[in-house]
């Protein structure tokens, strides 16, 4: 399936975005990530989105492991091949085992901590109902502070939006260079 809007060239996205994408690709072991070179076509919107996204992950109050669990779960539920491929690697770097990554992507179940399961239950409910029932909310709040609970909801929404955008645009997955 070909991209509906192709990743932009340096001229199309600007030198700062091209340099950022190149550095991100080096860190990931890929060419400049298509998520960045495609979204950077919006120029100013890209930088605002990047600041928002980066504030939630990796600089949010949830652990990197928990953030990656959320992102992988959202990627699976939304059918985002790009996010599944991209965050499979990042999830492993954040301390998720191969079995945990596969479980988050719809494979055989594994046991997560009570805190992690409460987070995953909220991800699933938001995907299916766009709401969280009182039981799941109570379970979540037994483990997360006000700040963490709000950030979790924003992280889920941010990655649902991103996954949807990448899927609709048919953004190609990044190929490893090493």
Predicted local distance difference test score (pLDDT) of residue 167: 93
Query: CA 146 → CA 31, 65, 84, distances in Å?
Result: 38, 19, 29
Summarize pLDDT for 44-87 with one digit per residue, the tens.
999 999 999 999 998 999 999 999 999 999 999 999 999 999 89
- Please state the pTM of the whole predicted model: 0.94
Residue 170: how many other CB atoms lie within 10 Å: 15
pLDDT band, very low/low/confident/very high, at 2 (cuts 50, 70, 90): very high
Residue 160: how many other CB atoms lie within 10 Å: 19
Predicted local distance difference test score (pLDDT) of residue 1: 75
Summarize pLDDT for 9-41 with one digit per residue, the tens.
999 999 999 999 999 999 989 999 999 999 999
Residues 114-126: what's their mean pLDDT? Answer: 98
Residues 115-138: what's their mean pLDDT? Answer: 98
H or E element in which residue 144 lies: none
Name the nearest CA neighbour of 83 among 156, 10, 5, 9. Answer: 156
Q: How far apart are CA 108 and CA 152, in angstroms?
A: 25
């Amino acid at each position: 399936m070909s991209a509906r809007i192709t990743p932009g060239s340096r001229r199309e996205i600007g030198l700062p975005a091209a340099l950022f994408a190149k550095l991100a690709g080096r860190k990931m072991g890929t060419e400049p990530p298509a998520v960045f070179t495609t979204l950077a076509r919006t120029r100013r919107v890209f930088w605002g989105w990047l600041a928002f996204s980066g504030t939630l992950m990796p600089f949010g109050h949830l652990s990197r492991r928990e953030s990656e669990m959320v992102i992988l779960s959202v990627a699976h539920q939304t059918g985002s091949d790009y996010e599944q491929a991209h965050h499979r690697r990042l999830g492993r770097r954040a301390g998720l085992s191969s079995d945990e990554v596969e479980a988050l992507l719809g494979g055989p179940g594994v046991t997560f901590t009570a805190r992690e399961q409460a987070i995953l239950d909220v991800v699933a409910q938001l995907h299916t109902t766009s709401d969280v029932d009182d039981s799941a909310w109570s379970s979540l709040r037994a483990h997360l502070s006000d700040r963490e609970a709000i950030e979790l909801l924003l992280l889920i929404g941010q990655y649902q939006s991103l996954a949807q955008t990448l899927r609709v645009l048919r953004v190609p997955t990044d190929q490893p260079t090493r």
